[in-house]
Amino acid sequence: MHRLGIGRDVFGGVLAGAVVGAVCLASDLAFATAPPPERVAFTGGTVLPVSGPAIRNGTVLVERGRIVAVGTDVEIPYDAFEVDCTGMFVMPGMIDPHSWDGLDVPNESLPVAPFLDVGDALDPSSLFFENALRDGVTSVHVIQANNTVIGGVSRVVHPIGLNVDEMTARADVAIKMSTTPRRGSDRMVQMVQLRDAFFQLDEAIGALAEKKYEEKREKDGRSVDVGPEEARKRGRELLEDKDYDELHLNLVRLRRGDLGAWVYTGSASDVGAAIRFAKDQGFAEQTVLITDGDAHLAAREVAAAGMPVIIGPSLFHRERDPISGELIETFIPKVFHDVGVTFALQPNPGDSFAERFLNYQAALLVRQGIPRDAALASITLNPARMLGMGERLGSLEEGKDANIVVLTGDPFDFASRVEYVYIDGVLAYERASDVRLQELLRLQQPGGGEGGEAARPAGTNNQNNNNARSGDRPAGGSERGAGGRRPGRTGTGTGTGGGR
């Protein structure tokens, strides 16, 4: 599988420079563009390799963009740049397995358009990528949205880089399809369009093959000696990639197994259609289903077909029982987990502030009784494998890409924040330099004002102090029985020092 983009092996080269440059731009600091360190050691933290149990006080050693050692007694070279992770957690970079936020328009208006490539529409400056990095996502699978019959080809990118080539980690990953009817269409039309696309493909291949065989015979100075059927059969063996036009090449590659098939199934009835279609066309092995709505009701079918699944974005399915009126809430990942289907999670910014974080989504799994390792795998190793990058991403193992996230605490604790993000062994994000995040959290005093946080009394949260004093009503009192209170009563709290 060839890989577009600047090779990691050209160390200190353009990627590293671009990464540093991008960090400079993001952080507004003046850096000398020195080459990043060749060896990096993450020491003292709790390491979550995903491929094995957690390692307390573990070390991860990175050399030239790859992980070379993970353990408790790793010998650290003298020239390694040491990242002190004491009190922190070290885990593989999280993977967003299904996103179109980096594109300008989620779907093409043409229903069957396998000749498209998301690389042509990717916007490296999109705020989406900056936020992904901030949230600890080191790989984003950019793919078209669900309103399609057959969409274009997707790619996996790092959320950092100045242009698409720099960002690309793996191009030509999968073709997007959908058995859920496009908006304004219906299921019959959808399936006809799907089948027709491949029927047309076969026709086109046949015509090309016949022509190719004729050409070959001409070149050999002979005439065509067999009927059309046989000519096509012989011609097919002669066909190369360059013979196909854009319209058909990607589907041919799909048939050949060079591309995955990511099929959106927005409801349970679409799942069966997708499985049958994939089997008929011969790409069931490379198929990943994207479930939505009530598609989890077909979990057993999915398990029988052995296909992995991308869930979501919403992990809860809520519906009202039509007779009793009772609200029925289903936790979708549990359904798939119980029948043994491999799944990955998506961020869900649409439903709540917390669900936009992949590690929060994984924490929901733990809440509902799924083991921690399975939850962690669903945001790291599982999506890596589904993207055909299981050898390179998704866990902290020797030989894998050094895509590492360091968090201030357990990833399943919502108070934890992403402290460092390393991509290919190079620092891509550092919370201390994250100006935009500081803006979000800082108290803003537009137009000068009387100073920012310095003017505030530095105190602990005073309500605890208030309550500790006897008989003291908290500042402001209550709504009931307040009496004729006059404004002007000052608060009773004063700080006792210490920060928040």
Q: Residue 411: how many CB atoms within 10 A of its CB?
A: 24
Residue 400 corresponds to which tokens in the numbers above? 């894998």
Task: Supply the minimum distance, in Å, between the C-beta of residue 307 and another protein.
Answer: 25
Query: Is there a contact between 286 and 254 (Cβ–Cβ < 8 Å)?
Result: yes
Specify the 3-state DSSP secondary structure of 103: coil
Cα distance between residue 487 and residue 329, in whole Å: 47
Residues in a beta bridge with 310: 290, 344
Residue 84 corresponds to which tokens in the numbers above? 């002190």
Q: Which is nearer to another protein, 86 or 478 (CB)?
A: 478
Q: Which is nearer to another protein, 222 or 485 (CB)?
A: 485
Site for another protein in 275-334 (CB under 8 A): 314, 316-320, 325, 327
482 binds another protein (CB under 8 A): yes
- Which DSSP symbol is given to 239? -
Stretch that binds another protein, among 25-33, 85-93, 202-210, 457-465 (CB under 8 A): 457-465
Q: Which is nearer to another protein, 29 or 458 (CB)?
A: 458
256 binds another protein (CB under 8 A): no
Stretch that binds another protein, among 189-197, 239-247, 348-356, 396-404 (CB under 8 A): 348-356
Instruction: Give 3's contacts (C-beta < 8 A, 6+ positions apart).
Output: 168, 169, 170, 171
Q: Which is nearer to another protein, 422 or 429 (CB)?
A: 429
Cα distance between residue 4 and residue 165, in whole Å: 7
Q: How far is CA 8 from CA 62, 332, 404, 406, 424, in A?
A: 13, 38, 15, 21, 7
Among 227, 451, 487, 497, binds another protein (CB under 8 A): 487
Stretch that binds another protein, among 273-281, 298-306, 386-394, 487-495 (CB under 8 A): 487-495
Stretch that binds another protein, among 97-105, 335-343, 398-406, 456-464 (CB under 8 A): 456-464
Among 7, 53, 77, 457, binds another protein (CB under 8 A): 457
Stretch that binds another protein, among 78-86, 134-142, 361-369, 376-384 (CB under 8 A): 361-369
Specify the 3-state DSSP secondary structure of 98: strand
479 binds another protein (CB under 8 A): yes
Query: Is there a contact between 168 and 4 (Cβ–Cβ < 8 Å)?
Result: yes
Instruction: Give 449's contacts (C-beta < 8 A, 6+ positions apart).
Output: none
Instruction: Give 162's contacts (C-beta < 8 A, 6+ positions apart).
Output: 18, 21, 22, 124
Site for another protein in 169-188 (CB under 8 A): 183-184
- Which DSSP symbol is given to 112? B
100 binds another protein (CB under 8 A): no
Closest CA to 136 of 189, 95, 89: 95
Pairing assessment for the beta strands 327-331 and 316-320 based on DSSP bridges: antiparallel
Site for another protein in 407-446 (CB under 8 A): 412-415, 417, 440-446
Among 52, 71, 390, 459, binds another protein (CB under 8 A): 459
Task: Supply the minimum distance, in Å, between the C-beta of residue 147 and another protein.
Answer: 11
Task: Supply the minimum distance, in Å, between the C-beta of residue 117 and another protein.
Answer: 25
| Residue whose pair of structure tokens reads 């901030």 in the numeric block | 134
Q: Which is nearer to another protein, 238 or 455 (CB)?
A: 455
Q: Which is nearer to another protein, 57 or 463 (CB)?
A: 463
Q: Which is nearer to another protein, 200 or 330 (CB)?
A: 330
Cα distance between residue 424 and residue 391, in whole Å: 14
Specify the 3-state DSSP secondary structure of 345: strand
Could you give phi then psi for residue 31, rounded to 5 degrees?
Answer: -110, 145
Stretch that binds another protein, among 199-207, 225-233, 390-398, 460-468 (CB under 8 A): 460-468
Instruction: Give 241's contacts (C-beta < 8 A, 6+ positions apart).
Output: 249, 252, 253
Q: Which is nearer to another protein, 228 or 409 (CB)?
A: 409
Among 352, 391, 435, 472, binds another protein (CB under 8 A): 352
Q: How far is CA 416 from CA 337, 413, 419, in A?
A: 26, 6, 9
Task: Supply the minimum distance, in Å, between the C-beta of residue 206 and another protein.
Answer: 38
Among 69, 74, 189, 366, binds another protein (CB under 8 A): 366
Q: Which is nearer to another protein, 33 or 464 (CB)?
A: 464
471 binds another protein (CB under 8 A): no
Q: Which is nearer to another protein, 120 or 123 (CB)?
A: 123
Half-sphere exposure of 493 (CA within 13 A, CB side): 20
Task: Supply the minimum distance, in Å, between the C-beta of residue 474 and another protein.
Answer: 4
Task: Supply the minimum distance, in Å, between the C-beta of residue 477 and another protein.
Answer: 7
